Amino acid sequence: MLDIQLLRTHLDHIARLLATRGYAFPMAEFGALEAERKNLQTYTQELQARRNAASRQIGNAKSKGEDATGILAEVANLGDELRQAEAQLQDTQAALQHILLQIPNLPHSSVPEGKNESDNKEVRRWGTPREFHFSVKDHVSIGEALGLLDLPTATKLSGARFSLMTGSLARLHRALGQFMLDTHTHQHGYTETYVPYLVNAESLRGTGQLPKFKDDLFEIPRKKTAVVETLSRNEDPHGAPGGPKCEYEDDDLYLIPTSEVPLANVVRDRIVALESLPIKLTAHTPCFRSEAGSYGRDTRGLIRQHQFEKVELVQIVHPQQSYKALEELTGHAETILQKLDLPYRVMALCTADMGFAATKTYDIEVWLPEQNTYREISSCSNCEAFQARRMQARFRNEKGKPELLHTLNGSGLAVGRTLVAILENFQNADGSVSIPCVLQDYMGGLDRLEASQL
């Protein structure tokens, strides 16, 4: 979320920056609400001053034994007016907050301006795509021919955009997640974290998925249920042991679209110590996305699924260190591809192609031979204070004063897409798939996927 003071003082400049992201700032609506807020705040303050003055008059009158009936009636009327004005002010502020929650982050000055992904800028490449002396297949054909990938059964079980893997392919999928976690925790200094797969709306607002992207989420409605706890004798107001205490759970939960949500929200409503920074967390979780609006794109195979797994990297850092941290985090994701010997390129996303919460993003794109192109496998972003302001995530700076943190996130990597890249880049003419050397210990010494492995 942007700082509203920034909008109040530099609105035209902010609107121009947001326009480069394809966002049209609602100038008229914001201006009308701001004018209403100012008037209501002034009116409320005037009513409070009049009520305070009248209260002092009542005190003086009573101390002198004078009749204060008229002033008491005036105070009562002022109280009614004040409550009404405060309610109107609260509604106006809520409307302003709703606008703020819909506004994307501002692009960093180093982000290339552009209208779509064709305006993204290549930063670097690593590795040389392999030359094949046979007709290459896509990952679906390879997996099905091996008898290890069964998309029709997954569709029967759950519908489109789900997968069923068996045998050594399922083991390779598991091995990838383990390898990624081990690399990031042992070599890159992240703390492995187990997180809930269901989160509340406040967590999703904190990282920017709500309210704007509600249609992309899987929501789990809950009936109102009572949670009963047993009170000790001291806690029970009547002194009876074992008294019941009822609390009601009626907030809907959502399946996480990425473990960035629970990981970043670890610091929500907290002020962390300066010496605890940077905080570096990683988690391997399933991710759930409805992919609203993406129908017709990547409908074949494992590229775009409703359920997939990802190893997420989150860094929570001092504001002065966030751009250094972005380069570091991107390098951590690249390391996985280098160890797997998968060719890739790094792209700096243009203003219009970045995610909602990002101020600067690098996409890492892995080479897919059958498509003869690079495809996104990781997105690494600096959100600066955008998420921290929504989450009220702060630290005590060098002067001991609370200051908003900066948050960063990236995939390290998407497990399913990495599996796709291995199947296609390491396929052999006989239909088998060689297993990268760094994964063979995780596979019990197995060095290739073959049709006989069940």
Phi and psi at residue 69, to the nearest 5°:
-60, -45
117 is in an annotated binding site: no
Query: CB of 260 within 8 A of CB of 379?
Result: no
Query: Which residues does 117 contact at the CB level (< 8 Å), separation at least 6?
Result: 349, 350, 353
The answer to whether 289 is a known ligand-binding residue is yes
**Is 290 labelled a binding residue?**
yes
What residues have CB less than 8 Å from 386, skipping those under 6 apart?
1, 2, 105, 208, 357, 359, 407
User: Is 370 annotated to bind ligand?
Assistant: no
Can you read off the two tokens belonging to residue 163? 């997968």
The answer to whether the annotation marks 260 as part of a ligand binding site is: yes
Residues in the chain: 454
User: Is the distance from CB of 383 to CB of 409 less than 8 angstroms?
Assistant: yes
Q: Is 225 annotated as a binding residue?
A: no
- Residue owning tokens 């060098």: 398
Nearest one of 326, 291, 321, 319 to 305, comparing CA atoms: 291
Known binder of ligand: residue 232? no
Q: Is 434 labeled as ligand-binding? A: no
User: Residue 26 corresponds to which tokens in the numbers above?
Assistant: 């609602």
Helices (H), 64-148: 69-102, 139-145
| Residue 131, annotated as binding a ligand | no
Pairing of strands 219-220, 253-255: antiparallel
Q: Which residues of 83-97 are buried (b: 16+ CB within 10 A; e: fewer)?
A: eebeebbeebbebbe
Q: Is 109 annotated as a binding residue?
A: no
The encoded tokens of residue 391 equal 């989450």
CB atoms within 10 A of CB 351: 22
Q: Extract the annotated binding site.
A: 258-260, 289-291, 312, 376-379, 409, 411
Q: Extract the annotated binding site for ATP.
A: 289-291, 376-379
Q: Extract the annotated binding site for L-serine.
A: 258-260, 289, 312, 409, 411
